Amino acid sequence: MIEQSFGLLFYLKKPAGFVKGEVTIYLRITVDGQSAELSTKRKCDPLRWNQHAERMTGSKDTVKNLNAYLDILQEKVYEIKRKLIEHNKPITAVTIRDILSGREVSYEKPRMLLEIFQHHNDQVAALVGKGYASGTLTRYTTSLKHTRSFIEWKYKVSDLDIRKLDYEFLSEYEFWLKSTRNCDHNTTMKYLANFRKIVKKCLQNGWLACDPFMGFSMAKIEVERHALSMEDLQSIGNKSFEVERISQVRDIFLFSCYTGLAYADVKKLKRSEITSGVDGGKWIFSKRQKTNTLSRIPLLPKALEILERYANHPQSLLSDRVLPVLSNQKMNAYLKEIADLCGVHKRLTFHIARHTFATTITLSNGVPIETVSNMLGHKNIRTTQHYAKIVDNKISADMKRLMEELR
């Protein structure tokens, strides 16, 4: 950092109630309008001080020695400044004063938040396909973008020293995501969880003294997961569509309902990932794009029918994929139309297919939750237990109907 202005001043500092006698000579250092001062530990009578020359007047040896000492101090200041420039260190009045006073000064360059975040993302990008999914990179890229925008909005700077991270920063960031970015609570918590990964890295490297997330609530609001009923599945499966593209979207959606694969996993599913399982039947052996965990899924008859229907589809053959999957946006647009045509009064999205597999197809039919968790590729069975709560609701509704019949 090169200073814009630099100044030195030797002056007498008279104590309160001063009448006469010698007073201490002080040195004031000013860099870019910011000053720091220190005592020279030498004294002079104000009547013998030349304010313009900033030296003591007289020809005695004591005067010459004092002025020579002040000259040496001045030279030391300029030598310190020269060395700071030479080593590309920040030049401040406080730094120069502390070095001149013999205090220990740290020249460690501040670690900047966005710089660390970008370095993390660069590493993730280099490891996509080697432990990280492309969706993970997208998630962190978006999170970095939001963090940068928040810092510019809140602090009016392009980056922030990580030592300024505290509870207030997180509270303000949460508010900004919900207000300015219009994110719901759970989405906000997801972005903060991404950000927490960067903070954790700083803590592990010893760059932060304490965790700003300490005491900060990251609890999510539990959202009810909707699933299609068997009646809904039959309505969609039995419906004839005049437009071939709509039929194609319907089939791919149903394939996900009967396999539990997410959109990204259906889209990337290769023919080589469908092989014989331990029972001799056709199984899917595929790693989830989101978590890179292996899913092992025996194919149900409905799923096999769909596979056979598209075995020779030109788009599938060309891309070496099992099914001709459109973009997620287009799929969801067609699914909305399919719901209207089939009289399904639920907001139909591709992700509802995964919920349907977990609840209507498997858990509701007595498949153990551990087995369902394995097929869904969940790393933790607690994730699968969210679906079990929906099944409890269904059991309750079924039992109520039974009670009515037994009255």
Q: Which residue has the higher pLDDT, 328 or 150?
A: 150
* Domain shared by 316 and 346, yes or no: yes
Last residue of a domain, one of 36, 68, 100: 100
Residue 145 lies in a domain: yes
- Banded model confidence at residue 1, pLDDT cuts 50, 70, 90: very low
Q: In this predicted model, what pLDDT tens digit does every residue of 170-195 receive, in sequence order? A: 999 999 999 999 999 999 999 999 99
Residue 29 lies in a domain: yes
Residue 105 lies in a domain: no
> Domain of 147?
113-204
Last residue of a domain, one of 204, 220, 249: 204
Residue 216 lies in a domain: no
> For residues 74 and 40, what is the distance between their CA atoms, to the nearest angstrom?
11
Output the DSSP codes for 19-88: -SS-EEEEEEEEETTEEEEEEEEEEE-GGGEETTTTEE---SHHHHHHHHHHHHHHHHHHHHHHHHHHTT
* Domain shared by 382 and 321, yes or no: yes
* Domain shared by 365 and 241, yes or no: yes
* Domain shared by 24 and 65, yes or no: yes
* Domain shared by 59 and 191, yes or no: no
Q: In this predicted model, what pLDDT tens digit does every residue of 264-288 receive, in sequence order? A: 899 999 988 999 988 989 999 988 8
Residue 219 lies in a domain: no
Q: What is the CATH number of the domain that holds 347?
A: 1.10.443.10
* Domain shared by 34 and 151, yes or no: no
Tokens describing residue 97: 């004063």
Residue 297: strand pairing partners: 284
Output the DSSP codes for 370-389: HHHHHHHT-SSHHHHHHHHH
Q: In this predicted model, what pLDDT tens digit does every residue of 225-240 receive, in sequence order? A: 688 989 999 999 999 9
* Domain shared by 381 and 274, yes or no: yes
Residue 195 lies in a domain: yes
Q: In this predicted model, what pLDDT tens digit does every residue of 360-394 receive, in sequence order? A: 899 888 888 889 888 988 888 877 877 766 666 66
Q: Structural domain tally of the chain?
A: 3
In this structure, are residues 23 and 4 in contact, taking their beta carbons and an 8 Å threshold? no
Output the DSSP codes for 254-317: HHHHHH---HHHHHH--GGGEEE-TTSSEEEEEE-TTT--EEEEEPPHHHHHHHHHTTT-HHHH
Residue 310 lies in a domain: yes
Residue 224 lies in a domain: no
Tokens describing residue 373: 């968790």
pTM check: above 0.85: no
Last residue of a domain, one of 163, 186, 204: 204
Q: Write down the residue that tokens 């030598």 correspond to.
A: 79
Q: Residue 226: what pLDDT?
A: 80
* Domain shared by 182 and 37, yes or no: no
* Domain shared by 11 and 82, yes or no: yes
Q: In this predicted model, what pLDDT tens digit does every residue of 42-63 receive, in sequence order? A: 999 999 999 999 999 999 999 9
* Domain shared by 277 and 398, yes or no: yes
Q: In this predicted model, what pLDDT tens digit does every residue of 12-41 receive, in sequence order? A: 998 888 888 999 999 999 998 889 999 999
* Domain shared by 73 and 127, yes or no: no
* Domain shared by 90 and 144, yes or no: no
